[in-house]
A and B are shown apart, each in its own frame.
Chain A
């Protein structure tokens, strides 16, 4: 069973095709077939993670061609962890999305599910491949599918998405240029092979240029401040079912590619000495944390506030990578996991509020705490985790990041993480206060509000329980899965 690495993306690709064919025949088949595809892939990734933890990295050679000539798919701690994360969140969002799609875009369900599976196939492909050029191809598969599904919104969505298309393509092209320079310098595209060849070439300016281009391209893809301009509009105008897939996963995969480059291709010491790429990444992350949090406070639209909060949260990940020490890296990886659950949960809540009341302006949400107790309960758990109050998961990743910053003697970063918790508290507690204590608005929608149907409520509650569970078991995740990744390079 060492085909596990390839089953994860390929089953999603096959089911994307099947969903479309069977969906044309009977529209009601689209949802069950798509869910089956995600389930198969989820089972494969969980088995893969267990196998990796038992017996080390799994390799699969496409077409039997051994690397460096052929393309290699690798499941190691980092990629198995990411694959399980992506498919778990996708599975929960899949269950959630059904009702919102039936209400918001009922006539487009067949292409929507087919494209969502293609998006997931791209994301899963990025994390399992061990080939630099393959990453580019999967990145573009995921991005193209994302452009298409995000467009199915209101009249404003296409205008927001065209900006994403242009900036995303520039990001992918920068990555391609970086890979090209690496190829010119080493003559290989296999990550492990390139990593073996690079130490002899560390004087080369080509390699420095490659590192700069790859980091810049991924900064564009992951919406790192100040390259985030496309993100708020896209998250605001697209359908709420789609955004529960895109917001927790899409930008995180950009961060994954950066971590992968740091862990498997370049060595962090080299990057620090030759050209301060990681230092720049850390400072951009710190600037993004503060700027994103302040912008989030200024927003009246719930979805737009969550979007700016995403900009701030991706800043934490960049800050952890930029610290380039074991604690910072563990913090960044743990924050990718925590943030996927927190932001997935929050966007599911905002979609549910829209589903039952049609509202998204924060002042109109007054009094919803009594009308929608379970929904707002899930929101409260996620908000507490975003602020970073234990035992919610968000506390622990911030704890590692602060420890990493102290270890690096970077007191500015310590201050930034602590200050941002305060800013997070400002914008989340403002909503909690409005929802639970303010008198009910006389506005029409809120007085009729009730919790959404079970199909949406259960995934939200799973996300909320997941946040607490992740907080409790975080020590096990770190010591078994994430610490070995950091240990192998430092």
Chain B
């Protein structure tokens, strides 16, 4: 029973593990680039959660197919989470871009990305 539910729902478990991994990366690592990578893992976990929620056993691509017709919507996977995640991916790519630009600014001024080192130099100024 336990094994069965694990098999049916493994994407959700993976996504939970990825969420935890991302949070750990963001708050336990001292290197700003690693924090950013943790943020990306966190975001990808949410994309995975949404996309796996739309899956149906035996469902196909959600474009109209004359052989299947429209009588039974269970034969198509749910397209809405995919559409939402396309938007979310755009948002997340922009966030990463802005964050990388900020990291570049920081690196040019302090020549390091280690948070403790940067904070030490900020206090010295």
Contacts and interface: CB of A to CB of B under 8 A. Distances in A.
B21 to A, nearest CB: 14
Contact of A158 (B23, B91, B94, B102): B102
B94 A151 contact: no
A136 B92 CA distance: 12
A144 B39 contact: no
A165 B49 contact: no
B102 A180 contact: no
Contacts of A180: 46, 49-50, 53, 81
Nearest to A158: B105
A159 B118 contact: yes
A151 B109 CA distance: 13
Interface of A: 133, 136-137, 140, 144, 147-148, 151, 155-156, 158-159, 161-162, 165-166, 169-170, 173, 176-177, 180, 183-184
Contacts of A165: 39, 95, 98-99, 102
Given A155-B125, A176-B88, A180-B49, A144 B35 contact: no
B102 A147 contact: yes
Given A137-B87, A144-B94, A169 B105 contact: no
B36 A166 contact: yes
Given A140-B91, A159-B106, A162-B106, A176 B46 contact: yes
A159 B43 contact: no
B109 A155 contact: yes
Nearest to A139: B91
Contacts of B99: 147, 162, 165-166
Given A170-B39, A173-B46, A177-B46, A140 B95 contact: yes
What is the predominant secondary structure among interface residues of chain A facing chain B?
Answer: helix
What is the predominant secondary structure among interface residues of chain B facing chain A?
Answer: helix
Contacts of A136: 88, 91
Contacts of B98: 144, 147-148, 165
Contact of B106 (A158, A166, A170, A176): A158
Nearest to A140: B91
A30 to B, nearest CB: 21
B26 interface: yes
Given A170-B26, A184-B53, A162 B102 contact: yes
A169 B95 CA distance: 8
Nearest to B99: A165
B20 interface: no
B32 interface: yes
Interface string B93-119: 011001100110110011000000011
Q: What 3 pairs across the A-B complex have the smallest Cβ distances?
A: A158-B105, A140-B91, A158-B106
Contact of B42 (A137, A144, A170, A184): A170
B122 interface: yes
